[in-house]
Amino acid sequence: MKNKRIIALITALALVFGCFVSGVFSASALTQKIILNTEITNTTSGVDDKNWYYFTPEQTGIYTFLSYSNYLHSEAYLFIKEGKTYTQLAYSNTSPNYEYYGQRDSDRFCLSYQLEAGKTYYYAAGWNSTTNAGAAMTVKLIFEGDFIDRLEINCNAELSWYTNGSWETDANGEAYYYYNYSKILQNMSVTVYYKNGSVSSSAYGSDTVDDLTITFTQNQSAAHWYPKEDEKYTGNFITVSVLNVSEKYDVTINQDALFTVSGKVCDYISGEAVSGATLKIKGNQTATTDENGSFSFLTVPGSYSASISGDGIIEREFTLTVYVNSDKNNHSAAPIRVIVGDWVKDGIINAKDYAYIFRSFTGNKKEAEASKFANQINLTADEYEELNI
């Protein structure tokens, strides 16, 4: 049996009201302090009259406000108060699990809600039928605490190695692959086992169960995700929580075939190797060229937006295709060429950049650089892209 008490409890009428000035919700009448697990009996003057109670919990948790009156058709509201304004949090006029609470039948309120420690809440209890107008109303507040026994996570989805995500850099400057785990959440169901023996399951992809919020947390930036076969694997955990009960789900990452992509970056004019150039895939740093201008990294097949940048390099953007045929993934024979120089922000290689050579170099080095730049005067960024280098 699904835990219906939660439904009447938390969200029955989770509506926000303004200041209640009518006689129905006037708290100017008796407002009495509630003592946990203690029955309180008061009379009402009519169907529109409500007995008011206040409670300030010392411990955060689920509290249930119950009717133990001999009469039917009771109802209860829960409010918080800010200034003179009462905001309604929940409403109940039924108790699906009345036997569990020792009530006479289901036609009595059973209002449960998670209350925060140190915050004052107000309950209004009365009748919703003229038949019982003026009758005595007996209520009691109990603390449910951790009434959830455990959670069970079910998911029929998996992730693939180095797909559905992007390269990021952690706090230590280490590059890691951040997986987009929305596919997992969309195919996940959470089953709640309650201490009273009832069980409820969420729909796949839902973030609620029995109108209780399900939260999902993970920290890939600190604990990077890897396939279980990888020596770096420590667990690809998503923590699933309902109220104060949590369960970890370990995401399966399939280790697909990876291919080595290698290549070389050189100066467009001189053909010299460019060291310290940064290769980015989808905007994330993937590799850096060594003193020979060479780079190498692993990835799965596909087409990627890539770029080469670095100190004194005009950023080169291009599409990098990674093939299943590994022979096509070596770009050393046909290096990726970039223009190196003090390229100013106006997007043009011009006399300002040419002057940079004479300020920065001497002797043979100055002549070599000047020769290079002679072929680049007035080369615009658009023209640079059209060179298809």
* String of DSSP letters for 258-288: -EEEEEEEEETTT--B-TTPEEEETTEEEEE
CA atoms within 13 A on the CB side of 261: 25
- Spatial separation of the C-alpha atoms in residues 10 and 115, rounded to whole Å: 11
Distances (CA, A) of 95 to 39, 136, 369: 17, 19, 86
Taken in order 277, 280, 284, 290, the sign of the CA dihedral is negative
DSSP labels, 99-166: HHHT-S-SSS-EEEEEE-TT--EEEEEEESSGGGTT-EEEEEEEEEES-EEEEEEEE---EETT-SEE
- Spatial separation of the C-alpha atoms in residues 221 and 234, rounded to whole Å: 13
pTM of the predicted model, to two decimals?
0.45
SS3 sequence of 309-374: ECCCECCEEEEEEECCCHHHHEEEEEEEEECECCCCCCCEECHHHHHHHHHHCCHHHHHHHHHHHH
Instruction: Please give the pLDDT value at position 376.
Output: 62
Residue 83 in 3-state DSSP? coil
- Do the beta carbons of residue 34 and residue 54 sit within 8 Å? yes
Instruction: Please give the pLDDT value at position 368.
Output: 75
Q: Which residues of the chain have pLDDT under 70?
A: 1-30, 46-47, 146, 257, 269, 285, 325, 341-361, 372-389
- Do the beta carbons of residue 209 and residue 198 sit within 8 Å? no
Instruction: Please give the pLDDT value at position 383.
Output: 59
CA-nearest of 133, 78, 128 to 108 is: 128
- The class level of CATH for 257-340 reads mainly beta
Instruction: Please give the pLDDT value at position 72.
Output: 80
Residues in CB range of 149: below 8 A, 6 or more apart: 193, 194, 195, 245
- Do the beta carbons of residue 303 and residue 328 sit within 8 Å? no
How large is the greatest C-alpha to C-alpha distance in the chain, in angstroms? 107
Residues in CB range of 364: below 8 A, 6 or more apart: none
Q: How far is CA 178 from the centre of its chain?
A: 13
CA-nearest of 78, 83, 85, 98 to 15 is: 78
- Do the beta carbons of residue 217 and residue 228 sit within 8 Å? no
Instruction: Check if 4-145 and 257-340 are the same fold.
Output: no
Instruction: Please give the pLDDT value at position 174.
Output: 81
CA-nearest of 329, 308, 298, 306 to 266 is: 308
Can you give the residue ranges of every domain in the chain?
4-145, 149-254, 257-340, 343-389
- Record the tokens describing residue 59, joined without a space: 């411990």
Instruction: Supply the CATH classification number for the domain 4-145.
Output: 2.60.120.380
Across-strand partners of 152? 191
Q: How wide is the angle at C-alpha 214 spanned by C-alphas 188 and 204, nearest 5°?
A: 25
Instruction: Please give the pLDDT value at position 84.
Output: 86
